[in-house]
Amino acid sequence: MDIISIRGGKTLSGTIPISGAKNSALTLLPCALLTDEPVTLRNLPRLADVDSFGHLLNQLGVSTTIEGARPEDFGRVMTLKAGKITSTEAPYDIVRKMRASILVLGPLLARAGECRVSLPGGCAIGNRPIDLHLKAIEALGAELETTSGYVTARQPDGGLTGGEFTFPVVSVGATENALMAAVLAKGTSTLKNAAREPEIVDLCQMLVAMGAEIEGIGSSTLVIHGVDRLHGCTYRVMSDRIEAGSYACAVGIAGGEVDLLAAKADEMEATLDALRQAGLHVEPHAKGIKVAANGKLQPLTLSTAPYPGLATDMQAQLMAMLCLADGASVLTETIFENRYMHVPELNRMGADIETKGRTAVVRGVEKLTGAPVMATDLRASMSLAIAGLAAEGETRLQRIYHLDRGYERFEEKLAAVGADIERISGD
C-alpha cells in the first residue's frame, strides 16, 4: 500500500492550482439521471470518489466519456448520457464505500418513477442518518418503504406532487436529494431551513442550466416549480473551497507565500477570517487568493457550524496548524460527534491536544516531530500531512487512499511549492 513521506522544515513558495470541488462534483454527477440528453461537466477533479460515482452511474445505464487530456493537466471533462435508465438500484456494495451514492435517490425517483437504494451504514466521523432525506422526499409525494437495509421509493399515480418541508436541522445531503426530486415534480415545492453551502448554489445553478425553475438560490428557503423535462447542458464545477483552505493552513504552519489559483474568497469567508485571526496575511485577487505566513501563529477559539459558519471539513486542518500557535486554542465540533480521530496521531507527533466531548483544547508547542501516522478519514489525513510539513524529521503517512478520495495530485501540488514530499509505492 502506498504511503506519503514528508520531511518537514521547508517553507512554501509558489502557486497551487485549486481543483474542482469534490463535494460539488458528487452532487452534480447524479444530475445526469434527470435527462436523456448529454450533460458535460468541466473542471471535474481526478479523484477516487468521482471515479466510484461514475462506476455507479454506469451500472444504472449512464454512459460516460472523458475528453482526452495530457497526464499533467488537472481536472477532466466528462460527458454523461442517461438515454435510458437500465437499473434503478444502488446496491450496498457501492453505497457502503461512498455515502454520496445516496444522492441517486432523488433523481432516480424523479426520472424513473421508482428506485431501490441501499442504506449507507456507518461512517468513521460519526452518525450520519438519512432520515431527513427520506422525510423531505416523502413530503414531495413519494411513497417509501424501508426493508432489509434498502429504501424503496415510488411515485404515486400521477407522479410527485411537490410539497413543503422544513428541515429541523440543516442537512446538505438531504437538501440536495430533495432538490433533485422536486425539479420534475408536478407542482411547486418549498424547502425551508435548507442548506446554503456554495455546493448547494452550484447544484441549483446547474439544474437551472438544465431548465429547472428555482427561486431563492443561496437562501435558506428554496422554491422549486416543477417542469415536465430537463435538457442537457455544459457546466463547470466550482473550485474546491476546502482544498484551498487546507493548503492555506499548510502555508500557515510551514511559512512562506503561496497563490491559490481559482480559489474564491466569497465562498470561504469563515475560513479566511480564522486564518487572518491566526496571523496569516490573506489577499484575495481576481484570479485567486494569496496567502502568506511567517510561522508566528496566534491561538483561536473556533466552532464549526453550517454555512456561512466555519465548515466542519476545515476543523482538522486548522487544528493541525494551531498545534504550533503561541497559546491555547479551543475548537468545538458541532456537526459530527466523532471527528477528533486525528488527535491521537497529532499527539504522537508532539502536539498537546486534549478532547472532552465535542471540544478540543490545543496548547501550542514549540515543535512537532515526524513519526509514522495513520489516517482515519479524508480531512484527518490532510491534518497529519499539514503537521508533517512543519515537523522535525520524517513523517510517514499511511492509509493515503483517504487523501486520494478528496485531494487531486496532492503530493505534486505541495512539491511544486517547495515541500519535501513524495509518494512511496507499496508492494
Residue 61: which region, alpha, beta or left (left: phi > 0; alpha: psi -120 to 50)? left
Distance from C-alpha of 67 to C-alpha of 82, rounded to nearest angstrom: 18
Quick check: 352 and 362 in contact, CB under 8 A?
A: yes
Pick out the residues of the known binding site for UDP-N-acetyl-alpha-D-glucosamine: 99, 128-132, 313, 335
Alpha carbon distances (Å) from 68 to 72, 78, 81, 230, 278 = 12, 10, 18, 28, 43
Q: Which residues pair with 221 in a beta bridge?
A: 192
Pick out the residues of the known binding site: 22-23, 99, 128-132, 313, 335
Does the CA dihedral 109-110-112-114 come out positive or negative?
positive
Over the Cα atoms of the chain, what is R_g?
22
Alpha carbon distances (Å) from 359 to 101, 301, 312, 391 = 31, 10, 13, 25
Pick out the residues of the known binding site for phosphoenolpyruvate: 22-23
Quick check: 362 and 319 in contact, CB under 8 A?
A: yes
Distance from C-alpha of 122 to C-alpha of 26, rounded to nearest angstrom: 19
Distance from C-alpha of 285 to C-alpha of 261, rounded to nearest angstrom: 9
Helix (H, G, I), strand (E, B) or coil at 361: strand
Active-site residue set: 123
> Which strand ranges, in their side-by-side order, compose the sheet holding 359-363?
301-303, 328-332, 359-363, 352-356
Count CB neighbours of 71 within 10 A: 5
Compute the half-sphere exposure of residue 321: CA atoms within 13 Å on the CB side of its CA.
34
